[in-house]
């Protein structure tokens, strides 16, 4: 079959509250968007992928699933959950031609970072990035293409973050 299904799960919302101020509603919404949606999409596609003997699932997670930043509880926990989801789906489908991986993104010139004030970005975020700059979105595309074309890569979390954290 020419149909080669690929799921790239990108949604993410990031309410900003320290743990003692996390609202029930924002917790539930963050889990729904960042984690439950990924499970629904995966579950919906996996049966067809298994029939075809081919599939790629790629979950965009975050460096915040690997480092602790105050005020990011809901976001960080759900993004860590996506990494675990990728690993479980990988082992469940390893012999079916399906791979499942995650990319833990650092700070890029796209998305949620646009809401961060420039002074905070320049004084608190960029100095912590060894490459001393935000990532170019083309690097995300390159990593996705690498995963799609790598039949032996499964159950992995790729750190794409300018050197902030690895392993």
Give the C-alpha separation, 144 to 8, whole Å.
8
Question: Exposed, middle or buried: residue 53 (CB in 10 Å: 0-12, 13-18, 19+)?
Answer: exposed
Rg for the chain, CA atoms, rounded: 16
3-class secondary-structure state, position 49: helix
Residues involved in catalysis: 75
Q: Which residues pair with 103 in a beta bridge?
A: 60, 158
């Amino acid at each position: 079959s020419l149909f080669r299904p690929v799921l790239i799960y990108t949604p993410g919302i990031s309410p900003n509250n320290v743990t003692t101020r996390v609202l029930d509603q924002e917790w539930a919404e963050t889990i729904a968007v960042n984690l439950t949606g990924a499970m629904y999409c995966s579950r919906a596609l996996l049966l067809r992928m298994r029939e075809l003997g081919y599939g790629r699932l790629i979950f965009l997670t975050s460096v915040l699933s690997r480092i602790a930043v105050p005020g990011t509880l809901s976001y960080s926990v759900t993004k860590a959950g996506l990494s675990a989801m990728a690993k479980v789906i990988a082992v469940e489908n390893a012999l079916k031609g399906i791979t499942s991986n995650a990319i833990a993104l650092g700070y890029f010139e796209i998305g949620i970072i646009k809401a961060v004030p420039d002074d905070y970005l320049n004084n608190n975020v960029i100095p912590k990035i060894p490459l001393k700059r935000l990532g170019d979105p083309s690097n995300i595309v390159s990593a996705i293409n690498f995963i799609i074309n790598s039949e032996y890569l499964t159950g992995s979390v790729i750190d794409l973050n300018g050197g902030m954290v690895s392993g």
